[in-house]
């Protein structure tokens, strides 16, 4: 599955070069192809890659990345076929043009050659890491639906945990 991962640092200790390289190396351990593309600036990073991980597994993986780098916010987009952006068209084309065969000429280096202060670029085909990553077991909600509803009545809907909300959502779909 192809994923887009957007990261926004929350901490002033964020070092765009070092922290993005850490994230890139960790991502390289879960990719299915030889290619991961990303661009970043002072306050953002965008990664595009193929992975065999399911969406929930990838979410856990990204949460665990927070142990290795300063605090950040993120969002993940799965299999983005149509995208719109006001970024430079060449940058967007580069980022979204992900395939399993590395290209001989890296045209993005030419684009950024005279503009290194605005964006940085890593070629992750050279940073492939063969390490394994152990995921924690998926947590479950032990409350019954009646107990969740009682909690809403007593404490309000904002008192529910993510797991409780998820269980309630699943129940409502039945």
Q: CA 10, CA 14: separation in Å to the nearest integer?
A: 8
Please tell me the predicted confidence (pLDDT) of residue 153: 92
pLDDT digits (tens, 9 = 90+) for 64-111: 988 888 889 998 998 777 788 888 888 788 788 876 454 445 444 444
pLDDT digits (tens, 9 = 90+) for 42-60: 788 888 888 888 888 999 9
For residue 157, the Cα-to-chain-centroid distance in whole angstroms is 28
- Nearest of 58, 43, 40, 72 to residue 3 by alpha carbon: 58
pLDDT digits (tens, 9 = 90+) for 103-137: 445 444 444 444 443 334 443 333 334 333 334 44
Domains of the chain, earliest start first:
2-126 (3.30.70), 139-174 (no CATH)
Q: Which residues pair with 35 in a beta bridge?
A: none
Higher local confidence (pLDDT), 35 or 86: 86
Mean pLDDT to the nearest integer, 147-165: 89
Residue 134: DSSP 8-state: P
């Amino acid at each position: 599955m192809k994923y887009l991962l957007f990261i926004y640092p929350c901490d002033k200790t964020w070092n765009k070069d070092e922290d993005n390289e850490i994230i890139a190396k960790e991502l390289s351990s879960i990719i299915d192809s030889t290619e991961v593309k990303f661009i970043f600036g002072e306050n953002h990073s965008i990664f595009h890659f193929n992975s065999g991980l399911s969406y929930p597994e990838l979410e856990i993986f990204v949460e665990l990345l927070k142990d290795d780098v300063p605090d950040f916010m993120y969002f993940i987009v799965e299999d983005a076929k149509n995208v719109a952006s006001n970024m430079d068209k060449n940058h967007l084309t580069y980022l979204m043009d992900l395939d399993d065969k590395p290209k001989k000429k890296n045209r993005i280096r030419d684009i950024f050659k005279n503009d290194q202060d605005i964006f940085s670029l890593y070629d992750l085909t050279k940073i492939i890491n063969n390490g394994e990553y152990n995921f924690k077991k998926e947590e479950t909600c032990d409350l019954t639906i009646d107990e969740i509803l009682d909690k809403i009545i007593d404490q309000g809907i904002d008192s529910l945990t993510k797991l409780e909300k998820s269980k309630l959502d699943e129940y409502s779909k039945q």
